[in-house]
Amino acid sequence: MINVAIIGAGYIGQVHANTYKQINNARIFAIVDSIEEKGKKLADQFDANYFSNIDELLNDKNIADIDCIDICSPTFLHSEMAIKTANAGKDFLIEKPLSLSLEEADKIIEAVKRNKVQAMVGHVLRFWPEYIKAKEIVDSGDIGKPLFAFSERLTVTPDWHVNKWGFDEKHSGGAALDLHIHDLDYLIWLLGKPVIVKSQGVYNPKLGGLVHITTNIEFKNGFSGFAEGGWSFTGNFPFTMVLRIICENGTIEWVFRAGKNIEERNQKNDLIVYRSDGSVYVPNVEQKDPFLTECEYFINCLDFNRPIEKATIADGRESLKLTLAAIESAKNKNTVYLK
């Protein structure tokens, strides 16, 4: 049994907590949140211990009983939480983005290596059934090499950030680091190393900086990709995800629209493959909650002493690097060349 402490009782912390409840070899041991009412409520829900901050957790007499920490805190706290967790010798899963800067990311990676702990970043598209299936089809070569990929993520302006921390660019990185990074990470996973980035966007300092951004990417292997993301939508605009991959002998497409946020993520929308010969087929996609797949993978790596090979902290750094380049390009209206 792997005992988990969750830092952050906000929206994503609650999603993770409800996910661990479904994993047989995981148990929520503690909830950490600076807002006592919210933290205790979630802790009571899972018969867990409550702590007001990470230092209180790490100095507790029962700290040896905790096997790992799931960091679901606001982004600006990621670096502090990750480094303290690693220094305490605890393995951890950290929500994306890994940090707000490459300097912070490198400090986290150094702490992980120095303390010989396992770490994983919550890039959940790598565990999302339709995104996995699309990559499997591409990798199989069944419809030839990929030529171009498009990935989109759109939502209404978030109202789930406590004290509206997400609308402070220096605390969240805006929609680019909070939302757009999902699709940029997937394009890296699908197409390889990015080398040229050109972005543009809509900037609103009252809503976190870049509230809508589009990014053109050229990859080292000659492939190209385009991602779009934003949280500037209003009213009842549905949470939207689109994936479209053009290959030599066909096209893969998936369109998802439902709900205000990811609460309706289990709604089934078919992934469709359009072949060049005119045939159309819908591949079988196992429907499993992506957060369950993600957290289950993390727990099993620890429980069975396996190395974490998916959504590693190195992957997290690469996705952060690309997203920061996209932000730079959009703000400065230039092309960024990556080394």
Model confidence, pTM: 0.96
pLDDT of residue 263: 62
Q: Which two tokens stand for residue 197?
A: 């980035």
Q: What is the Cα–Cα distance from 30 to 66, expressed in whole angstroms?
A: 8
Q: What is the 3-state secondary structure (H, E, C) of the chain?
A: CEEEEEECCCHHHHHHHHHHCCCCCEEEEEEECCCHHHHHHHHHHCCCEEECCHHHHHCCCCHHHCCEEEECCCHHHHHHHHHHHHHCCCEEEEECCCCCCHHHHHHHHHHHHHHCCCEEEECHHHHCHHHHHHHHHHHHCCCCCEEEEEEEEEEECCCCCHHHHHHCHHHHCHHHHHHHHHHHHHHHHHHCCEEEEEEEEEEEHHHCEEEEEEEEEEECCCCEEEEEEEEEECCCCCCEEEEEEEECCEEEEEEEECCCCHHHCCCCCCCEEEECCCCEECCCCCCCCHHHHHHHHHHHHHHCCCCCCCCEHHHHHHHHHHHHHHHHHHHHCCEEECC
pLDDT of residue 143: 98
pLDDT of residue 266: 67
pLDDT along the chain (339 residues), means of 10: 97 96 98 96 97 97 95 97 98 98 98 98 98 98 97 90 83 95 98 98 94 98 97 92 98 90 73 97 95 98 98 98 98 96
Sequence ranges of the domains in the chain: 2-124+293-308, 125-288+320-337
Domain 125-288+320-337 has CATH 3.40.50.2000: no
CATH number for region 2-124+293-308? 3.40.50.720
pLDDT of residue 119: 98
Burial bucket for residue 165 (CB in 10 Å: 0-12, 13-18, 19+) = middle
